[in-house]
Amino acid sequence: MLSVHTSPLHQPGTGDAGGMNVYIVELSKQLAALGTEVEIFTRASAGGLPPAVELAPGVLVRHVDAGPYEGLSKEELPAQMCAFTHGVTQIWAGQLPGYFDLVHSHYWLSGQVGWLVAERWGVPLVHAMHTMAKVKNAALAAGDSPEPAARVIGETQIVRAADRLIANTAEEAAELVRHYDADPMRTAVVHPGVNLDVFRPADGRAAARARLGLPQHALIPLFVGRIQPLKAPDLLLYAVRELLDRDPSLADPGRLVVPIVGGPSGTGLARPERLRRLADRLGLTDLVRFHPPVGQERLADWYRAASALVMPSYSESFGLVAAEAQACGTPVVAAAVGGLPVVVRDEATGYLIEGHDPVHYADALARFAADPGLSDRLGRAAALHARRFGWAATAAGTVSVYRAATESHRFALRSAHG
């Protein structure tokens, strides 16, 4: 597996580490359990890292030197692709022939490396986009900068070169075909998963609130994720302001808490204080609580404690946090974009909202404020719904794609050699 720009060993929820990191870790562990050994190549982003680290039995993370360790942004990485590819081929050269059976690349930067090494090693290339420049650019938040043309060209090359593409949802597969002219026969849909051992209702909302020191009867709309314009945490703050304007008594102590769990990322890094300042400006200083990213066990308690997870993103290829929150028995109020309509069942496990008007988010939150039993009712259905997203199913689906890619690759090689 190739994960050039972010390491599976990084804490997700800030910087470049997010759902893709969780995806690679969980998928690799499940693949290893099914008998497919995995080696994940990632760029060394700190000095003194060991060349290889065992992440789990059968899963090895290899650090590749390419460019300066720290302080290199994702936008600067294309200049280091040659160095990275060189590092990967050096490691491969030290192995027995036929060491790798297949290359699985994640995100377009890795796809560029995968394109080259898969061809050189004579093995199939399977690629997962995770996000697509054209889709992202069509749904930018106000003031967010568009993805460059070089990325669009790079993605188009990978779509052509890959033996198989893996899309998170049927919608993403359709976007690959529509925007990148992908071959539908070579585009498979495999849903990401949720670690159902970690993300489960456990001892419930009251116990989680007690552990986190949160008021028992408060309305708690929770934001979890990387703080960047695309994820629109500001929209939640505007919605909370609207809610308070409708019912100022919600500002009384113990009635409303708005936790934001995660760190700055991408274009959000340019002004990391922006969201805090917005909270101050909207008069929400005492209600909004910022928390740095946390590990998955602790995160599960945040989900359980919330009345609802709010995910107002402009674009989301799947939205793992929406699936995780539901698995913990918490409903989700989400923008009806990307994979979220697959993850959230409107009116059954939460609410899907068209557009990005804070008033509509405030309407949804008002329903929770008016009906204290709503979180539990929708949450029970949410926990059941989320059970269909286990990582074991993702791994089984991925193995099928590997098999199909291997067969068609062999067939193509045979045809090419007469």
Q: Which residues contact 289 (CB under 8 A, 6 or more apart)?
A: 257, 258, 259, 260
20 binds ligand UDP (CB under 6 A): yes
- Which residues are 194's β-sheet partners? 390
Q: Nearest 5°: CA angle at 257, between 254 and 260?
A: 160
226 binds ligand UDP (CB under 6 A): yes
Task: Write the single-letter amino acid at 213.
Answer: G
DSSP helix/strand/coil, 264: strand
357 is in an annotated binding site: no
Q: What's the rounded Cα separation, in Å, for the pair 405 and 163? A: 6
Q: Are 83 and 65 in contact (CB under 8 A)?
A: yes
Q: What's the rounded Cα separation, in Å, for the pair 331 and 322? A: 8
Q: Which is nearer to ligand UDP, 102 or 337 (CB)?
A: 337
226 is in an annotated binding site: yes
Q: Which is nearer to ligand UDP, 123 or 344 (CB)?
A: 344
Q: Which is nearer to ligand UDP, 29 or 226 (CB)?
A: 226
- From 239, 321, 386, 395, residue interacting with ligand UDP (rule: CB under 6 A): 321
**Closest distance of CB 352 from ligand UDP, Å:** 16
Name the packing angle between helices 358-370 and 233-246 (round to 10°).
60
- From 8, 13, 329, 331, residue interacting with ligand UDP (rule: CB under 6 A): 13
329 binds ligand UDP (CB under 6 A): no
**Closest distance of CB 269 from ligand UDP, Å:** 14
Question: Shortest CA distance to 228 belongs to which of 13, 29, 408?
Answer: 13
172 is in an annotated binding site: no
Task: Write the single-letter amino acid at 55.
Answer: L
377 is in an annotated binding site: no
296 binds ligand UDP (CB under 6 A): yes
Q: Which is nearer to ligand UDP, 29 or 409 (CB)?
A: 29
394 is in an annotated binding site: no
151 is in an annotated binding site: yes
* Contact footprint for ligand UDP (CB under 6 A): 12-13, 18-20, 22, 224-226, 261-262, 293-294, 296, 299, 318-321, 324
